[in-house]
Amino acid sequence: MKQDFTLEIQHLSKSYHRGKKEILKDINVSIKNGACVGILGANGSGKSTLLSILAGITTPTLGSFQVAHSTNATHATTNIGYIPQENPLMEELSALDNLRLWYSLSETSLEDELANGTLHELGIHDFLKTKVKYMSGGMKKRLSIGCSLAKSPNILLLDEPGAALDLPCKETILHCLQSYKAKGNLAIIATHEEAEIEICDQLFLLQDGTLLPFSYDGNLDTIVNAIPKGVSQ
């Protein structure tokens, strides 16, 4: 079990077009480890922006976030794994080559992970020599997750991981997420998928730039009614 930590987001705001379009407004939230957190919201509501800020890719206009460990607090971009919607892979190379790139940063042995670690759990060993450009969407997504887990991150950010995937693949990803959570890590998922929502311990609704706690009673209509139609694209 990993050391306990809390992800603290303070007064986080982001605007585009020189402040003309404010997509995130003063977000304040504190999330503890060992959980799976779902972020709901209409298309264009700012879910990807929020995740990219947490991944350290986008700079917030205002505010900050930090990972506060139980003993000391550090800025924690280095142990955050991020799986964007577009798979961060080299299309012309094989799964093994892509894994090599990310495992060159890691102290974990790639061979061990493929033999009996998370990569094996994701089933990547089945298509290790296949070039990314010949892979299905599910294979690519699993490989992206595998690459993101190379550095054994404490926090995993997933931007709509189950979008356009078949059921067995979704199942594999969900299984992997549950196992990840069980190890005391934190997974934050931007999602619209019912199965992904169901494994979440905590849900937030991103609406008009603000992040609101959301309770899901198992009825999808609750979500459909909560998300306003016609949010700007």
- Compute the distance between CA of residue 16 and CA of residue 196 in angstroms, rounded to an integer: 30
Does position 143 interact with other proteins (CB under 8 A)? The reply is: no
Q: How far is the CB of 219 from other proteins (least distance, A)?
A: 27
Print the binding letters for residues 53-92 with other proteins: x by CB under 8 A, - otherwise. --xxxx------------------x----x-xxxxxxxxx
Could you give the strand order of the β-sheet that contains 210-214, starting from the edge strand earlier in sequence? 80-83, 155-159, 186-190, 35-40, 202-207, 210-214
Q: Compute the Cα dihedral for 133, 134, 138, 139 and give only its sign.
A: negative
Q: How far is the CB of 160 from other proteins (least distance, A)?
A: 11
Q: How far is the CB of 169 from other proteins (least distance, A)?
A: 19
Q: How far is the CB of 11 from other proteins (least distance, A)?
A: 20
Does position 204 interact with other proteins (CB under 8 A)? The reply is: no
Per CB under 8 A, the list member of 7, 36, 49, 139 interacting with other proteins is 49
* C-alpha distances in Å from residue 26, one per residue of 32, 75, 109, 188, 192: 20, 19, 41, 19, 23
The nearer residue to other proteins, 91 or 171, going by C-beta atoms, is 91
Does position 192 interact with other proteins (CB under 8 A)? The reply is: no
Exposure on the CB side of residue 162, measured as CA atoms within 13 A: 23
The residue ranges that bind other proteins (CB under 8 A) are: 16, 23, 43-49, 52, 55-58, 77, 82, 84-93, 97, 100-101, 104-105, 233
